[in-house]
Amino acid sequence: MPAAKWNRRPTHDTGHLPSLDVYQDLYKHFHAHPELSHLESETAARVTEELRSLGSYDIFTNIGETHGVAAVLKNGEGATVLLRADMDGLPVEEKTGLEYASKTRMRDSEGVERPTMHACGHDMHITSLLATAKLMLDAKKAWRGTLILCFQPAEEKGAGAKAMVEGNGGLYTKVPIPDVVLGAHVMPGRAGSLETKRGLVASAADSFRVTLHGRSGHGSQPHRTIDPIVMAASTVLRLQTIVSREVDPYNCPAVVTVGSIHAGDAENIIPEHAEIKLNIRTLDPETRAHVLEGTRRIINAEAMASNAPQEPELESLSNFPFLNNDDEVTTGIETTFAGIFPGRPHGYSSDGPRLGGSEDFGILATSVNRPSCFWTYGGTDPAVWDEKEKEGKLKEIPINHSSYFAPVIMPTLKVAIEGLAGGALTWLAT
Ligand SMILES: [Zn+2]
Ligand SMILES: [Zn+2]
């Protein structure tokens, strides 16, 4: 890392914060028009249009044959910083009752029509990165170096970052390799608050679809069939023993969740197949390997115990890598954030928790062997947060992926922009 040339000062030119009215409206636009993973064409088009309207940025679209967009602003000699936002919505029906709530429905990649919602707050990420594009352009005299803005598709599938860097005409064939990669996520939390954490910030996540094969027949004659429902039930229960019996309970937390199980239609027919979908979360590579091996072993063994006519099929649905915050980069961010945000209880804290979910953001850095830092900021209306906190009911606050998850726009947007710009300026400010 070219640490010596980095200018790590807690500098932040809030005088260049753009008019947030425009960006609040833009946020409402993105919120009302979410698109599912891999289908973010309209979002990418609007992002491109907004970037073009600023001038000065070199813009690249359809990166790696995805809907990914990148913009580069070269501003003399200096470090290169990449800021990332993800763009996809989720198959969730919005129930927030907001006047700009999504009424969108989309056909997913399997052709099934789904209600669609920005239930993970990626609309806040897109909008804050566009506003940061404007801020950094207006503040051009206050910094030197190269700024890269990366608008990534399909984060929810754990596929977008990989596709952007590895696909045909991948990201780093278009833009310079950054010295530092930075990103952030809106979370439940008092709006105005912001948290970093060193080291591991997000678990690895591996998802599978498993097809169990049986032999169908009349419900009155089970002895002439092989019942895939009993096989599936037994498999689901036995899978629970990986975490409870095979993994070190003190040092290696892991999660094995079966989130979907489908088989049969009628009460008197034993079906031919059963399908389960499962999701595995682990915090270290050794446990990950063990849990994945155990999962395959149990699925095959239960099929064999049921005398299945053929081995089960495992299809990988998504893989998220571990996400690690680099110590040195995070130290730089800590210094900046401590300088530009108020401290606890309502501002910045450097000992934030790990993310509940997983993230593919890190691939943008690890694919070119560069360090990264990913932080979180709160999006809950401060009045609501304080009331729930007083009542001891913080668990009632909607979390990401809920039908009711919608950040309060201000001050969330302002903190999101200041975080991104402040993060970039940590390495770019003159
Ligand atoms: Zn999400
Ligand atoms: Zn998300």
Kindly report, residue by residue over 244-275, the tens digit of the pLDDT. 999 998 888 899 999 999 999 999 999 999 99
In the reported structure, the alpha carbon of residue 375 is separated from the centroid of ligand 2 by a whole-number distance in angstroms of 12
The residue with tokens 């003159």 is: 430
Burial letters 44-69, b for 16+ CB under 10 A, else e:
bebbbebbeebeebebbbebbebbbb
pLDDT recorded at residue 14: 52
Question: Is 120 within any annotated ligand binding site?
Answer: yes
pLDDT at 204 over 70: yes
Question: Is 267 within any annotated ligand binding site?
Answer: no
- Per-residue confidence band for 48, with pLDDT thresholds at 50, 70 and 90: very high
In the reported structure, the alpha carbon of residue 204 is separated from the centroid of ligand 1 by a whole-number distance in angstroms of 14
Predicted confidence (pLDDT) per residue in 96-152, tens digit: 999 999 999 999 888 999 999 999 999 999 999 999 999 999 999 999 999 999 999
Residue type for position 120: C
Angstrom CA distances, 168 to 64, 65, 311, 408, stand at 5, 6, 35, 38
pLDDT recorded at residue 73: 98
Can you tell me the mean pLDDT for 298-320? Answer: 97
Pairwise CA distance, residues 323 & 283, whole Å? 9
pLDDT recorded at residue 8: 45
Instruction: Give which of 265, 239, 24, 268 is closest to 123, Cα–Cα.
Output: 24
Can you tell me the mean pLDDT for 90-96? Answer: 97
Average pLDDT, the chain: 94
CB atoms within 10 A of CB 313: 14
In the reported structure, the alpha carbon of residue 267 is separated from the centroid of ligand 1 by a whole-number distance in angstroms of 36
Pairwise CA distance, residues 59 & 336, whole Å? 28
Can you tell me the mean pLDDT for 329-348? Answer: 94
Question: Is 122 within any annotated ligand binding site?
Answer: yes
Could you tell me how many residues make up the chain? 430
- Residue 250 Ramachandran class (φ > 0 left, ψ -120 to 50 alpha, else beta): alpha
Out of 27-31, 142-146, 166-170, 390-394, which region has the weakest mean confidence (pLDDT)?
A: 166-170
Pairwise CA distance, residues 202 & 358, whole Å? 5
Q: Which residues contact 43 (CB under 8 A, 6 or more apart)?
A: 30, 33, 34, 35, 67, 87, 126
The residue with tokens 């200096």 is: 78
Domains located in the chain, CATH noted: 3-201+322-428 (3.40.630.10), 204-319 (3.30.70.360)
Predicted confidence (pLDDT) per residue in 410-429, tens digit: 999 999 999 999 999 999 99
pLDDT at 1 over 70: no
Percent of the chain, pLDDT > 90?
91
pLDDT at 342 over 70: yes
Question: Is 185 within any annotated ligand binding site?
Answer: yes
φ/ψ (deg, to 5) at 260: -155, 140
pLDDT recorded at residue 15: 63
